[in-house]
Amino acid sequence: MRYAETGYNLEIDMSTGNIEKVETDTELTNHYLGGLGTNARILWDRVPPEADPFSPDNLLIFGAGLLTGTPAIGCNRTIITTYSPQTLYMAFSMMGGFFAPELKHAGYDKVIFRGKSPDLVYVWINNDQVEIRDASHLRGKGAVETEKLLKEELGDSRVQVASIGLAGENRVYMASIEHGRSSASRLGLGAVMGDKGIKAIAVRGTKDVNLARPMEVIDFCNYLIDYIPERDSNPIPGVMPILAGLGSPKEMLIHDEKWHTENFMWGNARTRIKDYWTKDVEEKWKETQESVRTRLISCYNCPMECGAIVSVPGISTYMMKCFSKLTYTMAAYSDLDFGFRIAQRATEYGVDGFSTPQVMAFALELYEAGILTDDDLPGLPEGNEERFYWLLDRIVRREGIGDVLANGVYWAARAIGKGAEEYDHNTIKKHEQLPLKLSMLNPIYFLMWATGEKINITQIEGNFPQAPFPTREEREAFVEDWPHVPHEKFKEYFVNWELRGENSFPYYPPPEATCDIVDWQETMHYIDDALGVCAGLSSFPLKPPYHIHNWPVLISAATGMEMDKDKLWEIARRNRTLIRAINVRRGLRRKDDRPPENHWKKRFPELEETLLDTYYELKGFDKNGIPTRESLHDLNMDFISEDFEKRGIYNDGQSEEKS
């Protein structure tokens, strides 16, 4: 009997219509746990590194985390993996809600799509009954509308649906996969789903998920149920609201937006509205938010209520998650009412709420600079809000200039030319980042931004505070109750960290300590993404309920695997190294591990090179960011170094040099 996982994947060839239920190898679970780790191994084994993201050879993998669907609190993530049309590297994005637990209860750990359907279809998974059905009646429908229509068509409100909107159908590079209260938004997963001709996947499952030692799992969950409200009701003083408690950023609960308005870029530009966040603005935003929020909601088996049902007069009800209420608002220099309204349209279209506002702001910057003209934007209306709606409609339809902008800032800038590249200052590895206002380089964030294979800062940062507390006394008080650290040295790093002086940015923490901190934060995220837990209960907040010391207890009880901290850390390192290797085969090198020159206003080139050198050494990479033969051997991944040898990657004349 398999514990925690079902032991079966569902394989669907969209070109032929062939459907297979395939038993999985327990050794893959032992090496990679599940979720992201096993997704990545499948991509390595089965997709040629030269495959185009829109090739029939590319796979689109919907993977449930190892603990998803078990009683483990907050373990509900779907990890979706493919090659990104935007970055051309491996893409993976996590989706909450109820989809992955339902998939587990239907009897599958993953659904793996290959090939392309000649017609628009949806897939209906009802336990052992799996069908590919015509979706021509859903063409052009919104993602949320599609979910509603399929639940009605299938006659069961408990069916869980993942769907794309018009953006996915038109292969817009920022297209998302929507699922009610959550979405897999980053890196163009929806575009690949649309390219394969899949409008939606509907799942209903009624099977059990077995546990090795059920009572130990329940006891651990009871501990979490006691810890979470106690911790969340006592926020950490002196940190931003979204980190003071637990959960994913609870944007529909929190009203204090001072941190966002002061630290986010407004639009794609470096400017912001000076002194914008006044008491009057705060009260107006609070009133707007309270007036549209119907109720707070949670994902499967989670008490956190991080999302909300939003009802704005004149538009259909939808579910708000994460920062979408703010990203469109800030990009358009507008108010919160506009943010709620355009976010509803964007959700139906199925587009990423981080990239899309920046692409639209980028277009308007080019227009103001004279690089784009009235000939490029015929019919562009007056008024900032109207222009954003106008651009959004054209991007998702790939009409006119929208066809260029639909590929994202990096590709659009190079297609437009005439100096447009100078306005591309927030993409890393061709992907728009969280729109933060960056002044002096922060070494920890430089490394996370530059080297992160997720190419998404919110999926890398975490348990170590983002800035030092004002006084040593406050820092000492913080570390007194900090059992989460993997090693006591992290307490010393934080206690010695000063706001100003010798032990402050940019030269503190020193390179070795900076790399240790980044390594810890990355490791926790890679554990979460293998297990399927929401980062809001583990890798993202300060002092979360899950950490490196208690995860092994739960994993062992649920799966029957022998697990301890060191083995878990090694598995996370193996998963991270595998993803690096996948991207190395796609051409990733040191030269790509750098933010644009103007990403920070003040840079420290020598320090940055030292940070990269130190990080690569810690991770077992060579000077060019390629995993070494020795480190791969230590991780039982000789198959990678053998592949690199055959491809000449170790002998390309660059692997030992800084590019």
pLDDT, tens digit, 9 for 90 and up, residues 35-56 = 999 999 999 999 999 999 999 9
Q: Are residues 57 and 133 located together in one domain of the fold?
A: yes
Residue 152 resides in a domain: yes
| Structural domain count of the chain | 2
Residue 234 DSSP symbol: S
CA dist list (Å): 30 to 11, 36, 518, 635, 638: 22, 14, 25, 12, 16
What does the pLDDT average to over 357-378? Answer: 95
Q: What whole-number distance in Å separates Cα of residue 480 and Cα of residue 492?
A: 11
CA dist list (Å): 491 to 274, 486, 525: 37, 10, 20
User: Three-class SS string for 414-470?
Assistant: HHHCCCHHHHCCCEECCEECCCECCCECCHHHHHHHHHCCCCCHHHCCCCCCCCCCC
- Residue 521 CB-density burial (10 A; 0-12 exposed, 13-18 middle, 19+ buried): buried
Tell me the CA end-to-end span of the chain in Å, nearest whole number: 50
Whether 267 shows a pLDDT value over 60: the answer reads no
Q: Are residues 188 and 264 located together in one domain of the fold?
A: no
Angle at 579 between CA 577 and CA 582, to 5 degrees: 110
Residue 78 resides in a domain: yes
Residue 67 resides in a domain: yes
User: Residue 345 corresponds to which amino acid?
Assistant: R
Q: What whole-number distance in Å separates Cα of residue 37 and Cα of residue 561?
A: 16
Whether 307 shows a pLDDT value over 70: the answer reads yes
Residue identified by tokens 């922060």 is 442
CATH of the domain at 260: 1.10.569.10
Q: Are residues 12 and 159 located together in one domain of the fold?
A: yes
Q: Are residues 172 and 299 located together in one domain of the fold?
A: no
Whether 119 shows a pLDDT value over 60: the answer reads yes
Structure tokens at 316: 């259909």
Residue 163 resides in a domain: yes
Residue 578 resides in a domain: no
| pLDDT bucket at 366, cuts 50 / 70 / 90 | very high
pLDDT, tens digit, 9 for 90 and up, residues 408-421 = 999 999 999 999 99
Is the CB of residue 267 less than 8 Å from the CB of residue 331? yes
Look at residue 455 in the predicted model and tell me its pLDDT. Answer: 84
What does the pLDDT average to over 401-411? Answer: 98
Q: Are residues 242 and 200 located together in one domain of the fold?
A: no
What does the pLDDT average to over 81-95? Answer: 97
Residue 538 resides in a domain: no
pLDDT, tens digit, 9 for 90 and up, residues 460-519 = 788 999 889 999 999 999 999 999 999 999 999 999 999 999 999 899 999 999 999 999
Nearest-Å Rg of the Cα atoms of the chain is: 23
Residue 560 has a CB neighbour count (10 Å cut-off) of 16
Residue 470 has a CB neighbour count (10 Å cut-off) of 12
Q: What whole-number distance in Å separates Cα of residue 363 and Cα of residue 409?
A: 9
Closest listed residue to residue 289, CA positions, set 340, 236, 342, 328: 340
CATH of the domain at 150: 3.60.9.10
Q: Are residues 277 and 425 located together in one domain of the fold?
A: yes
Look at residue 325 in the predicted model and tell me its pLDDT. Answer: 81
Residue identified by tokens 């907040």 is 541
| pLDDT bucket at 240, cuts 50 / 70 / 90 | confident
| pLDDT bucket at 111, cuts 50 / 70 / 90 | very high
Give the pTM. 0.96
Residue 167 lies in domain: 8-204
φ/ψ of 556, rounded to 5, equals: -65, -45
- Residue 28 CB-density burial (10 A; 0-12 exposed, 13-18 middle, 19+ buried): middle
Q: Are residues 181 and 256 located together in one domain of the fold?
A: no
Residue 543 resides in a domain: no
Residue 599 resides in a domain: no
Which of 431, 463, 493 corresponds to the end of one domain? 431
Is the CB of residue 382 less than 8 Å from the CB of residue 348? no
Q: What whole-number distance in Å separates Cα of residue 362 and Cα of residue 12?
A: 39
